[in-house]
Amino acid sequence: MSEKTISWEFAPAPEDSRLAMIAKRYEHFIGGRWTPPSEGKYFQTRNPATARKLSEVAAGSAADIAKAVEAARLAFRGPWGNMPARERGKFLFRIARLMQERSRELAVTETLDGGKPIRESRDIDIPLAANHFFYYAGWADKLDYAFPNRRPRPLGVAGQIIPWNFPLLMAAWKIAPALACGNTVVLKPAETTPLTALKLAEILAEAGLPAGVVNIVTGAGATGAALVEHDDVDKVAFTGSTAVGKVIQKTLAGTGKKCTLELGGKAANIVLEDACIDQAVEGIVNGIYLNQGHVCCAGSRLFVQEPVYEEVLWKLKRRLDTLVVGDPLDKNTDIGAINSREQLTSIRHYLKVGLEEGAAIYQPDCQLPSRGYFCPPTLFTEVAQSFTIAREEIFGPVLAVQTFRTLSEVIEKANNTPYGLSAGVWCDKGARLFQVTDALDAGVVWGNSYNNFDPTSPFGGCKESGFGREGGLHGLAAYLDI
Ligand code: NAI
Ligand code: MG
């Protein structure tokens, strides 16, 4: 096979950044009003593709959190708690439609604030976020059918803390089921990507959602901690790092508050010898490189059965050579900007450790933009199970490749991790596919596909990847007393 790859240069096709219509400054959204921070402090959110400031947002203190929780409690006791379920559902439908109407603005904002390629925010994040509202809107007046003979009741005020990798989608995952079940919400977006949640606040107001049903308080870790620690929060839902998840679990122990945690992962993507290799290579690329590997369920460990190892590796490298890294706003871009300078520093640290431990590195020859935070797609071979890059979550476009001979060997290797969020298996024969998927300790296992999401399907992990499910019927249970 020849080493030469034929590739074509695409003419630039950038989306217009002005479509984002980002304000110079945003306040908290509390009790239906834009509320200045009690301590008068603001912080910047930047565009990681240029490192330039986009806007400034309010820095939330414990006093701001207290105000937001109080507003949420009032709404729960009042208009929202007393509203017939079918009326609640109508609000969710309205929110979903307004998100669709503003989808282009939301997609451009998401890409500017977080650095992900516009193709992803346009085709995945925003439509899926709207779909979550549509899906849960339908459940609002059917909870008795979802849980027959259980008389499901809302929990009360939900405190929700979300990360920066899917900002609007995570907000929708958390808010839509909470509202469908009759709860009220205080949401704390991630500090590097607060803007789409604040635009969602505008949408909630436009939809006429009663004041206080959803409150959005921006800030960093301390703001999130104040929300977790507040006495009048009935349920905490968190997505983010395993380290913070453990802190939250300690804080909540013995308080009687309910909790769901969706934490890190180190997913195995397994290619068996009879797999369709071209399809598997696309799935591997989709699993770890698109969205810069900023995905908790990213397929960051690749296991290839020995007979097809050379072929998979050759095709994967050629495919890496064609990936377009650069301006996230360009519709041709496959790999956008790393979300923050801190995250890039952390990824670079892992690249160094991988080399020090003796792995072989492959990176295509790509010209990275001179400004902003970028990392080329990276592949490590000659990796041992004990290497740091095969054990720790890197959260970047970095793949660690290993080989295996037998199914029992790969099952043991794949499960040999403290995480258990997701996995993928590529195989032509259904019976073998299910043999492997059944044996994997992971909340989600994809067969001959990767990173597929649907509002009707539950998502969540086991082991140190957390507990509780989001999406589907299971996602309702997390917001109900049944
Ligand atoms: P993080 O876990 O610190 O941040 C996630 C959210 O939690 C943010 O909104 C943050 O403000 C909030 N937070 C931070 N400390 C808190 C505390 N003590 N109490 C309550 N809320 C708190 O994640 P970070 O630092 O942004 O990323 C570090 C690593 O975490 C990444 O490299 C990646 O490995 C992992 N991560 C996993 C995610 C997932 O989807 N499972 C998402 C983001 C990061
Ligand atoms: Mg930002």
Instruction: Give the model confidence (pLDDT) of 346-362 as tens digits.
Output: 999 999 999 999 999 99
- The predicted-structure confidence for 62-77, as pLDDT tens digits, reads as follows 999 999 999 999 999 9
Neighbours of ion ligand 2 (CB under 5 A): 45-46, 113, 192
Rounded distance between C-alpha atoms, residue 47 and residue 112, angstroms: 5
Nearest ligand to the C-alpha atom of residue 328: 2
Strand partners, 330: 14
In a domain, 36, yes or no: yes
Q: Report pLDDT digits (tens) over 379-411.
A: 999 999 999 999 999 999 999 999 999 999 999
pTM of the predicted protein model: 0.97
- Does a structural domain hold residue 453? no
Query: Which residue type sits at 111?
Result: T
Q: HSE (CB half, 13 Å, CA atoms) of 179? A: 36
Q: Does residue 131 lie within any of the structural domains?
A: yes
Q: How far is the CA of 110 from the centre of ligand 2 (A)?
A: 9
> Could you tell me the pLDDT band of residue 445, with boundaries at 50, 70 and 90?
very high
DSSP structural state of residue 288: H
Looking at residue 203, its amino acid is: I
Over residues 290-314, the pLDDT tens digits come to 889 999 999 999 999 999 999 999 9
Tens of pLDDT along 36-45? 999 999 999 9
Task: Look at residue 4 in the predicted model and tell me its pLDDT.
Answer: 53
Nearest CA to ligand 1 atom 9: 190
Beta-carbon contacts of residue 77 (< 8 Å; ≥ 6 apart): none
Instruction: List, for residues 313-354, the tens digit of each pLDDT value.
Output: 999 999 999 999 999 999 999 999 999 999 999 999 999 999
Among candidate residues 177, 473, 193, the one with its CA nearest the CA of residue 185: 177
- Distance, in Å, from the CA atom of 482 to the CA atom of 174, rounded to the nearest integer, reads 19
Shared-domain flag, residues 303 and 177: no
Mean per-residue pLDDT for 78-106?
A: 98
Residue 334 lies in a domain: yes
Confidence of residue 88 (pLDDT cuts 50, 70, 90): very high
Q: How many CB atoms lie within 10 A of CB 52?
A: 12
- Has residue 457 been placed in a domain? no
Going by alpha carbons, the residue nearest to atom 10 of ligand 1 is: 221
Report the distance separating Cα 99 and Cα 207, nearest Å. 10
- Beta-bridge partners for 400: 301, 380
Same domain, 148 and 257: yes
Are 468 and 427 part of one and the same domain?
no
- Give the whole-angstrom CA distance, residue 336 versus residue 141: 41
Domain shared by 211 and 274, yes or no = no
Please, which pLDDT band fits residue 1 given cuts at 50, 70 and 90? very low
Residue 312 shares a structural domain with residue 254 = no
Q: Which ligand is nearest to the CA of 394?
A: 1
Residue 466 sits in the same domain as residue 443: no
Q: Are residues 239 and 331 in the same domain?
A: no
Q: Which residues are catalytic?
A: 262, 296
Give a yes or no: residue 325 inside a domain: yes
Q: Are 252 and 299 within one domain?
A: no
| 136 in the same domain as 242 | yes
Q: What is the largest CA-CA distance in the chain?
A: 70
Q: What is the C-alpha separation between 83 and 80, in angstroms, rounded?
A: 5
pLDDT digit string (tens) for 18-32? Answer: 999 999 999 999 999
Residue 143 maps to which CATH number?
3.40.605.10
Query: CB-based burial of residue 208 (10 Å sphere; 0-12 exposed, 13-18 middle, 19+ buried)?
Result: exposed
Whether 216 and 317 share a structural domain: no
Could you tell me the distance, in angstroms and rounded to a whole number, from the CA of residue 450 to the centre of ligand 1?
23
CATH, residue 333: 3.40.309.10
Question: What atom of ligand 1 comes closest to residue 466's alpha carbon?
Answer: 41
Q: In terms of domains, do 308 and 282 share one?
A: yes
Residues lining ligand 1, judged by CB closer than 6 Å?
Answer: 161-165, 188, 190-191, 220-221, 224-225, 228, 239-241, 244, 247-248, 262-264, 296, 343, 346, 393, 395
Nearest partner of 29 among 213, 300, 278, judged by Cα: 213
Residue 7 banded pLDDT, cuts 50, 70, 90: low
Q: What is the mean pLDDT of residues 91-110?
A: 98
Residues 197 and 245 occupy one common structural domain: yes
Q: Is 387 among the domain residues?
A: yes
Q: Please check whether residue 2 lies inside any domain of the structure.
A: no
Domain that holds residue 233: 17-263+462-481
Asked if the model's pLDDT at residue 208 lies above 90, the reply is yes
Task: For 121-164, write each residue's pLDDT tens digit.
Answer: 999 999 999 999 999 999 999 999 999 999 999 999 999 999 99
Domain count, the chain: 2
